[in-house]
A and B are shown apart, each in its own frame.
Chain A
């Protein structure tokens, strides 16, 4: 069975087999109380509908998930993808409070809840973030909401790649309201989020040229949704490299865009997959082939040894017959 919401991330991972299960019929907000900082929705609800509702109450999903056209809340959780604010606010899984799941035996299971602190039982709900629907069908989701910052200020600086990595990490080690960083082709962007007084104080530390409000908002949205020219077109493979943030310039060919204080690096490259993966793995990171994948190249970094065996057993624990999204995470997974 292949589970599909808006299909906005179907370019990732392997081609799915099986009967289509379209989640979009199971949609709608179940409960939203802004004072509780939590929203519960059915998985087929569009991400856009949720973020619009939150914005009307001065709130947001702080992990800034990519809003690819058609994206649903179920897909947001299943893919586990977070946007530029991830360095400050955490990832999808950090904000996930509870989940209603249908397992491979057709049982309705509920894990977590609607409260911030919950250590009763294993944290199965967070395991679903980034599991690509391979453990079960995500039916309902409770996720933490956060107040929108009163003001944001974006600054632009000219920096080399090495200087940007150094600067981003130095700033992140200081008590500044730094909510996102990006660098590409010698130009760094920094975003500060907070009250007017705190932004003014932080700006004195960061320096840089102020980017106009509209342009800045457009830039971060386009980065989040991969609509910047860097991401467009071309025939070269687009790679997503998750590496330790302070990793020095990698010996890789191609054009690079950096986010998350250096922790996320996008690379457009014709390099052979094996050499690229080896170089990234040597610095303690991993590489995912995002777009324009050559035949025979795995999208997700393949798992090895005891970790692969453990994944196999866990997969069976939730879905003994292998009903859901077989092969979505590559190979047998």
Chain B
């Protein structure tokens, strides 16, 4: 193995917990350092609860100076640091390190300033995503990225994961809506990435830091771009006789030159599950439904809805409904947004995947998933951000049944592997964390993984920030036995694969 991945993934020597706690308590207020098991327990996992680990200590700094103090202590003692926002992540990216400190940034929760004319808000990392839009609303502005956890998730976590949402086809990901990130290196140095101007000197490190899963620096302040609130929005609900036809309709809408505000697909199983739960009025006889949203000025929306309706009809939609008022539009969306809890009602456990594939292969992918479901003997609900090819298959299982969790994980990995084979990626918006380390071996070769480690070490020479996440070591890939595949280099592309 090359020295870079060795250095970045080294084992950490055990540190005396009492000594560490003593050092941290000298730097932070008494209530900001937690070490006993009972207080630390709530931090043992993030939104992916199957991966749990107890850290040596949890710290809750209140300001940048305290974050800096913690980082300096950890750098000096060689202790790993895992930063955490609200802990809503779905890939285990904020799972603690057993020899490390878990640093919650939840107390850095102030909106520092909001400039309506410049359409910028400066916020601390612990500010919740939705509260930015709430603060901007009186000015007719909002923050566009809207991950489904937006009432709870924080902007710091959004930056770490490059979070998306249902509207990112038109409005982009976190990357496209953040102007500036202020962060600290593991040595406590202040680094400013980006600025309030549209260009900054040097390399575009802002693009590199966004989505880096807390492995390069710890975010202490973020400037987000605010957009004018659309005057109006309407949603089209269309039914299709097959998932393949619905997939073709998605491509048809884009081909017609339309970029809808959102374009979501659900299969029959997912539709039935949510309908029973929230009564959104979805047709139960359709093999797939599409939700297509248009927003903007009333004139533009009217034009676009007419165009969308025409395209969907031409692609064989047999029932098309357009929301008549805001209440109906919200009802259409309520079903989609309830997909995850609905899965939670159907099974003891569910596992949500996050691959992205080229849009035109949606139908093919769904057929493969149906075959995999038979093979692994598990049910799967399919909900997609169809407009950008981002899949969220929800695999249902019961962890108390011997072998089911293992089968669910194998099923999930088969989906991700197939995403790469179809020319896609193993993660569209949830991040790699600990969950998709194995799948990463399918997407990147040794040289590429090594260059990720070199980037990590350029920022964090000791490899202390969130070690063991996001990038698999070459050893791990070898042990895993996962062959590197690439969309353009699959042998026998016509053969079905699981």
Contacts of A317 in B (CB 8 A): 451, 454-455, 457-458
Q: Decide if B303 touches A127 in the complex (CB within 8 Å).
A: no
> Which residues of A, 1-57, contact B by the 8 Å Cβ criterion?
33-37
A311 touching B257 in the complex, CB below 8 Å, given contacts A35-B251, A317-B451: no
Contact with A along B163-197 (1 / 0, CB 8 A): 01000110011011000000001000111100111
Interface-lining segment among A155-163, A182-190, A230-238, A242-250: A242-250
A173/B141 in contact, CB under 8 A = yes
Do residues A197 and B161 form an inter-chain contact, with CB atoms below 8 A? no
Check B358 against A286 for contact (C-beta < 8 Å): no
The A-contacting residues of B in range 241-272, CB under 8 angstroms, are 251-252, 254-255, 257-259
CB contact between A120 and one of B229, B254, B427, B487 (< 8 Å): that residue: B427
Asked if B100 is at the interface (CB within 8 A of a chain A CB), the reply is no
Closest chain B residue to A316 by CB distance? B458
A173-B139, A244-B197 given; A307·B191 CB < 8 A: yes
Given contacts A36-B360, A175-B230, A310-B459, contact A117 B389 (CB under 8 A): yes
In the docked arrangement, what's the CA distance between A243 and B197, Å?
5
Q: Which of B302, B457, B487 contacts A197 (CB 8 A)?
A: B302
The 8 A CB mask of A300-333 against B (1 = contact, 0 = none) is 1111001100110110111000000000010001
Contact of A169 among B118, B185, B197, B357 (CB under 8 A): B118
Among candidates B140, B189, B303, residue contacting A195 with C-beta atoms closer than 8 Å? B303
Query: Closest Cβ of chain B: how far from A95's Cβ, in Å?
Result: 10
Q: Please tell me if the beta carbons of A118 and B425 are within 8 angstroms of each other in the complex.
A: yes
Contacts of B444 in A (CB 8 A): 120-121
Please report which residues of chain B, range 321-380, place their CB below 8 angstroms from some CB of chain A when the two chains form the complex.
Answer: 356-360
The answer to the question of B234 belonging to the interface, with a C-beta cut-off of 8 Å to chain A, is no
Contact check, A35 vs B172: say whether CB atoms are below 8 A apart. no
For B412-445 the 0/1 string (1 means CB < 8 A from A) is 0000000000011111111110001000100110
Contact residue range for chain A? Answer: 35 or more
Query: In the assembled complex, how far is the CB of residue A147 from the closest CB belonging to chain B, in whole angstroms?
Result: 3
List A contacts of B169 (CB < 8 A): 116
B390's nearest neighbour on chain A, judged by CB, is A117
Q: A36-B360, A118-B356 are in contact. Are A244 and B429 (CB under 8 A)?
A: no
A260 an interface residue at 8 Å Cβ cutoff? Answer: yes
Given A35-B251, A117-B389, A317-B457: A93 in contact with B297 (beta carbons within 8 A):
no
Chain B residues, CB < 8 A from A34: 255
Contact of A113 with B424 in the complex, beta carbons under 8 Å: yes
Output the least CB separation between B460 and chain A (Å). Answer: 10
Contacts of A148 in B (CB 8 A): 257
B211 touches A (CB below 8 Å): yes
Instruction: Answer whether residue B19 sits at the interface, using C-beta atoms and an 8 A cutoff.
Output: no
User: Could you say which residues of chain B place their CB within 8 Å of the CB of A135?
Assistant: 203
Query: Most chain-B Cβ atoms within 10 A of its Cβ — which of A114, A120, A246?
Result: A120
Whether the pair A121, B431 counts as a contact (CB closer than 8 A) is: no
Can you name the residue of chain A whose Cβ is closest to the Cβ of B439?
Answer: A120
Which of these, B207, B211, B297, contacts A198 with CB under 8 Å?
Answer: B297
Contact of B117 among A169, A175, A243, A313 (CB under 8 A): A169
Give Cα distance in the complex from A317 to B390, angstroms.
31
B119 within 8 A of A: yes
- A147: chain B residues at CB < 8 Å are 257-259
A258 in the interface (beta carbon within 8 A) = no
- Chain A residues near B117 (CB, 8 Å)? 166, 169-170, 173, 246
A121 CA to B454 CA, complexed, in Å: 12
- Among B118, B199, B452, which residue has its beta carbon within 8 angstroms of that of A245? B118
Min distance, Cβ A136 to any Cβ of chain B, angstroms: 9
Q: Given A36-B359, A306-B185, do A121 and B208 touch, yes or no (CB 8 Å)?
A: no
Q: Is the beta-carbon distance between A113 and B487 smaller than 8 angstroms?
A: yes
- Tell me the nearest residue of chain A to B160, going by C-beta: A119
Docked Cα-Cα span, A194 to B454, in Å, equals: 45
Check B316 for interface membership: any CB of A closer than 8 A: no
In the complex, B231 has a CB within 8 A of chain A: yes
The A79-99 residues at the B interface (CB cut-off 8 A) are 80, 86-87, 90-91, 93-94
Q: B120 → chain A, closest Cβ, in Å? A: 8
**Which residues in chain A, 219-235, are within 8 Å of chain B measured between CB atoms?**
none
Pairwise interchain contact A195-B300, C-beta atoms closer than 8 A: yes
B9 within 8 A of A: no
Assuming A127-B203, A284-B197, A317-B454, is B208 touching A115 (CB within 8 A)? no
Asked whether any CB of chain A lies closer than 8 Å to the CB of B385, the reply is: yes
Cβ–Cβ contact B360 & A121, under 8 A: no
In the complex the two chains form, is B140's CB within 8 Å of A286's CB?
A: no
Interface string of B196-208 (1 = CB under 8 A from A): 1111111111011
Closest B residue, CB atoms, query A38: B358
Report chain A residues within 8 Å CB of B202: 300, 303, 307, 311, 329, 333
- Cβ of B299 within 8 Å of any chain A Cβ, yes or no, is yes
B68: min CB distance to chain A, Å: 13
Q: Check A126 against B204 for contact (C-beta < 8 Å).
A: yes
Stretch at the interface among A66-74, A103-111, A210-218: A103-111
Measured CB to CB, the closest approach of chain B to A37, in angstroms, equals 6
Closest residue on chain B to residue A314 by CB atoms: B458
Report the separation of the CA atoms of residues A117 and B191 in the bound assembly, to the nearest whole angstrom: 27
Shortest beta-carbon distance from B146 to chain A in Å:
14
In contact, B432 and A121 (Cβ under 8 angstroms):
yes
CA–CA, A309 and B493, complex, Å: 46
Query: What A residues does B199 contact at CB under 8 A?
Result: 80, 91, 130, 242, 286
Please tell me if the beta carbons of A175 and B296 are within 8 angstroms of each other in the complex.
Answer: yes
CB-defined contacts of B360 to chain A, threshold 8 Å = 33, 35-36
| A123 at the binding interface (Cβ < 8 Å) | yes
Which one of B141, B191, B300 lies within 8 Å of A177 (CB-CB)?
Answer: B300
Contact B208 A35 (CB under 8 A): no
CB pair A90–B176 under 8 Å, yes or no, is: yes
Instruction: For B470, give its contact among A121, A175, A245 (CB under 8 Å).
Output: A121
Shortest Cβ gap from A242 to chain B (Å): 4
26 contacts between A and B (CB under 8 A): A36-B254, A36-B360, A93-B207, A107-B451, A110-B448, A114-B358, A115-B428, A116-B169, A117-B385, A118-B356, A118-B428, A120-B443, A122-B455, A123-B162, A124-B452, A127-B207, A131-B203, A147-B258, A169-B118, A172-B228, A175-B229, A175-B230, A201-B297, A307-B202, A314-B458, A317-B458
* Given A116-B388, A117-B168, A127-B208, 14 additional A-B pairs, CB 8 A: A35-B254, A119-B432, A124-B208, A124-B452, A166-B117, A174-B228, A177-B296, A198-B303, A201-B297, A245-B118, A260-B198, A286-B201, A302-B201, A313-B459
